[in-house]
Amino acid sequence: MIMAAKHIKNNKGLASMESIALLVVFAIFIGYGIGFFGVIHTGILNSIASRAYAFETLDNRADVTYFRSNRLPPNDVRDHYANYGYRAHGVRTEFADPNGEALWEVTERSISIGRPSAGRLGDSDHAELGNTIMGPERKTVNPVWLKTVYGICLNVTCGGAGS
């Protein structure tokens, strides 16, 4: 004999518990969404600044191997980029010391808002270690390092195309 399904007579349930779990999940998604927005926004702003700096320094110059008209005091020789074969223009991190050394440090952004970064490495670590980071630090994606550079080739040896 087949029995009919019993209907629950009361409306009590655990909807409040389910809604709390969903609110936590949405809060985490919003935190990561804001973090990713910050990364993309910083990348776009750094790209605009790097491009503007490149066009400003290369504007209307017949020979771009020299850097403006800067002269070195000891022997009055201009700085040049002919030894490198290219000129690169980029921006430093906004946290760099303006009176400190002119190191080209990366901009660092966290993708998780309100949570500490796992295995956080500083600007000096990026400058010294770069692509040699191994182990658990290599497997994490937080924080994101941004370095936007615009460049121009000066001769045929740029980019490994020459001899």
Q: Token pair 């700085």 is at which residue? A: 79
Enclosing domain of residue 44: 16-160
Say how far apart CA 21 and CA 116 lie, in whole Å.
22
Note whether residue 1 is domain-resident: no
Q: What is the tally of structural domains in the chain?
A: 1
Note whether residue 41 is domain-resident: yes
Note whether residue 7 is domain-resident: no
Q: Where are the beta strands (DSSP E) in the chain?
A: 66-71, 78-80, 86-90, 107-109, 144-146, 149-153
Q: pLDDT class for 162, splitting at 50, 70, 90? A: very low
Note whether residue 106 is domain-resident: yes
At 85 the pLDDT is 72
Could you tell me what percent of the chain has a pLDDT over 70? 53
Closest CA to 143 of 105, 107, 109, 94: 109
Q: Give the H/E segment covering residue 26.
A: helix 15-58
Note whether residue 123 is domain-resident: yes
Say how far apart CA 95 and CA 115 lie, in whole Å.
20
Q: pLDDT class for 24, splitting at 50, 70, 90? A: very high
